[in-house]
Amino acid sequence: MLFGVFPICIIKDPPTLPPTTLIPGSNTSTSMPISAASASTSSNTLLCILSSAIVLTVLLIALILLYRRRNRRPKQHPWYQHNDDDDDMTFVTMDDVASDLLTNMFHSYRIPANKVDQDIEVGRGGYGVVYLATVRGPAKGETRRVAMKRLLPERLHNMEYMDAFLEEIRLCASLAHPNIVEFVGVTWTKLLNVSMLMEYMGLGDVWSLVEADRAEGLLQWNVNPDVQFNLNANQP
């Protein structure tokens, strides 16, 4: 009783409920901690993004390494910069004299060494080795395939072989005829790498044919036996 006159009834407050989420199409609501669910979703998304970025980075690095490995080429020095065991003082002191001698002998036939690109070896004999080579002409893109003959490395310091090779070059330089292999020129930077450049015969030469048919002793080629070659003729 309030003031002994008014009756009073005290009722207890209802309990506090958590936030509710209404499921669409349903008249019922489901209690769910919204902030916790959002944080979990964000963490999963961030984890997926980081994982994808790491995988892509690893793949990119692997592709770069593979590309570099496949395109890596050992540094190649020009043929005339190779060390031909020219520590022999006899040849070192002769180089200046030899250079003057070679210039006097072959000045009009000389091709600069930096215009000649040596390629694969195609043959060798008793004292010489022959390479396939390319001569670059004065015009842009102008090239010619040639046979490049040099002394064998083990013959370089033998003056007898060197003299014979220089005489061979001199002889070939004096010959010019449509029916014989063409002399193209001579190139060198020192006595030990002097090289003769000749017309490249892509189908081989007579010697290779003889060697191939040594057992039978016959030349297996389609040549009329009545044909005669006259080196004195003006026409081939």
Q: How confident is the model at residue 78 (pLDDT cuts 50, 70, 90)?
A: confident
Q: Which helix (H) or strand (E) segment is 59 a member of?
A: helix 34-71
Residue 149 assigned to a binding site = yes
Return the percentage of the chain with pLDDT > 70, whole number: 61
- Residue 142 has phi, psi (to 5 degrees) of -80, 120
Find, among 114, 43, 119, the residue nearest to 80 by Cα: 114
- Alpha-carbon distance 15 to 165, whole Å? 116
Find, among 203, 166, 215, 158, the residue nearest to 186 by Cα: 166
Candidates 3.40.140.10, 3.30.200.20, 3.90.1150.10, 3.90.870.10; CATH matching 85-212: 3.30.200.20
Q: Mean pLDDT for the chain?
A: 76
The predicted structure's pLDDT at residue 227: 58
pLDDT tens-digit series, residues 16-50: 555 554 445 555 444 445 555 566 677 778 788 88
Q: How far apart are the first and last CA of the chain?
A: 147
Residues 87-112, mean pLDDT to the nearest whole number? 68
Boundaries of every domain in the chain? 36-68, 85-212
pTM: 0.57
Q: Is the pLDDT of residue 116 over 70?
A: yes
Q: Is the pLDDT of residue 123 over 70?
A: yes
Q: Cβ atoms within 10 A of the Cβ of 84, count? A: 17
Q: Is the pLDDT of residue 89 over 50?
A: no
The predicted structure's pLDDT at residue 114: 93
Q: Is the pLDDT of residue 152 over 80?
A: yes
Which residue in the block uniquely carries the two structure tokens 């022999």? 88
Are the CB atoms for 196 and 169 separated by under 8 Å?
Answer: yes
Beta strands in 105-142 (DSSP E): 116-124, 128-136
The predicted structure's pLDDT at residue 103: 76
Return the percentage of the chain with pLDDT > 90, whole number: 28
Looking at 70-79, 169-178, 203-212, 215-224, which range is the least confident one?
215-224
Q: Is the pLDDT of residue 93 over 60?
A: no
Looking at 76-80, 150-154, 220-224, which range is the least confident one?
220-224
Q: Is the pLDDT of residue 146 over 60?
A: yes
Find, among 153, 135, 154, 139, the residue nearest to 196 by Cα: 135
